[in-house]
């Protein structure tokens, strides 16, 4: 029987698109579509009102919706509706656990199994739920993508509230980030209680990342063993570089795959990937202050290392 790890996998039928655009500079949605589609305002407004325009996988109907660089705008062949079929219950979205909010940023504790931003296969994402939440206050509100964490990973996920802040951070994200901390439960005992691993990572044709001896992107990973019990280790990981699947690949390369990782480790009894983003500290791009955001470690992690009574 297939082990289903995704609580959010009840996806609607695949959507067919007539156009897919990548945004190169900030602009209002209506002006962007007029330029790209070379059609009348009435036709563009019709697409918007018919729910055929998606931004980062979310349906948008507001003509003055502000786009940011690297947003993805898609035009659906047919109107998109989330109305359930007859006798089919409407799916309830996951509760958004807000862990930080100020005038410039909005952060959630992203649940495991939910994409940060839509993919070609799934449109359900943290972005879409944060967008809906922010627009309860005003339809002109929207989140702006700064960074992402893996679908299987839970924890700190931050969005900007305006394109100016987002653009500055996205341009030099690594220069602004001070701390990226994760906690992982891995199999076995690591070769050292603490260490820094510097290696190169590459991605193959099957989207699998692996450690390369010479070529690839440089990845710097620091780890410290916090606890050990029953052949498992609770490990704190700090990364200087945010490469795709970096922590999962590096720990597996050391011979200690993360529990629940059937992509880089092996199928086991864990119902989720045991990797959680606990801290993200970064400098505000325009103010002299450090933004410090933390997400509490799930009890499923710590309970594995409690002493037997």
Tokens of 188: 């076995």
Of the chain, the end-to-end C-alpha distance in Å amounts to 35
Q: Tell me if residue 102 is catalytic.
A: no
Chain centroid offset of residue 222 CA: 22
Which position among 71, 109, 150, 261 bears the catalytic label?
150
Q: Catalogue the active-site residues.
A: 150
């Amino acid at each position: 029987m297939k082990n289903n790890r995704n609580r959010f996998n009840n996806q609607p039928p695949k959507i067919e698109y007539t156009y897919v655009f990548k945004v190169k500079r900030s602009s209002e949605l209506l002006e962007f579509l007029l330029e790209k589609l070379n059609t009348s305002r009435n036709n563009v407004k019709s697409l918007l009102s018919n729910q055929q325009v998606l931004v980062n996988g979310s349906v948008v109907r507001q003509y003055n919706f502000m786009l940011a660089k690297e947003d993805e705008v898609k035009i659906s062949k047919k109107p998109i509706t989330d109305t359930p079929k007859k006798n089919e219950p409407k799916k309830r979205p996951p509760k958004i656990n807000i862990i930080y909010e100020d005038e410039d940023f909005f952060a959630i504790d992203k649940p495991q199994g939910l994409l940060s931003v839509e993919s070609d296969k799934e449109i359900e994402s943290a972005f879409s739920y944060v967008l809906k939440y922010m627009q309860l206050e005003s339809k002109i509100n929207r989140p702006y993508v700064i960074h992402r964490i893996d679908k299987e990973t839970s924890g700190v996920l931050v969005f900007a509230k305006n394109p100016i802040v987002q653009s500055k951070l996205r341009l030099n994200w690594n220069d602004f980030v001070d701390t990226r901390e994760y906690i992982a439960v891995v199999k076995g005992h690591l070769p050292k209680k603490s260490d820094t691993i510097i290696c190169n990572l590459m991605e193959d044709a099957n989207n699998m990342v692996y450690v390369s001896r010479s070529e690839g992107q440089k990845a710097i990973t620091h780890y410290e063993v916090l606890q050990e019990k029953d052949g498992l280790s609770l490990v704190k990981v700090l990364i200087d570089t945010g490469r795709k699947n970096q922590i999962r690949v590096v720990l597996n390369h050391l011979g200690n795959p993360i529990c629940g990782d059937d992509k880089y480790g092996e199928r086991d009894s864990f119902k989720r990937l045991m990797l959680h983003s606990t801290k993200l500290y970064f400098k505000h791009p325009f103010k002299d202050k450090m933004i410090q955001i933390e997400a509490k470690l799930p009890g499923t992690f710590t309970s594995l290392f409690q002493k037997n009574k």
